[in-house]
Amino acid sequence: MKTMQFKTNIKCGGCVATVTPFLDKVVGHDHWKVDTASPDKILTVETEDTNAEAVKLAVQEAGYKVESL
């Protein structure tokens, strides 16, 4: 299992709810989390077979900004 981290602008529970179906589809339920308390709103993804570009695309499709750390 590899861990990837991204800086996002996902800042609240409503934002997390919006991005949930997009990320669940790409990396699966319970394989990602967003630290909304962090100033950089860090998205952490744990996956074996998903690449960073697929994660970025899912977040962007949900309407949020994302960049690799």
pLDDT (0 to 100) of residue 63 = 98
Q: Which CATH number fits the domain that encloses residue 25?
A: 3.30.70.100
User: Cα separation of 68 and 51, whole Å?
Assistant: 11
- Domain total for the chain? 1
Phi, psi (deg, nearest 5) at residue 19: -80, -15
Q: Which domain holds residue 24?
A: 2-68
Q: Is 19 exposed, middle or buried (0-12, 13-18, 19+ CB in 10 A)?
A: buried
Evaluate whether 10 touches 64 at the Cβ level (below 8 Å): yes
pLDDT tens series, the chain, 69 aa: 899 999 999 999 999 999 999 999 999 999 999 999 999 999 999 998 889 999 999 999 999 999 999
pLDDT (0 to 100) of residue 49 = 87
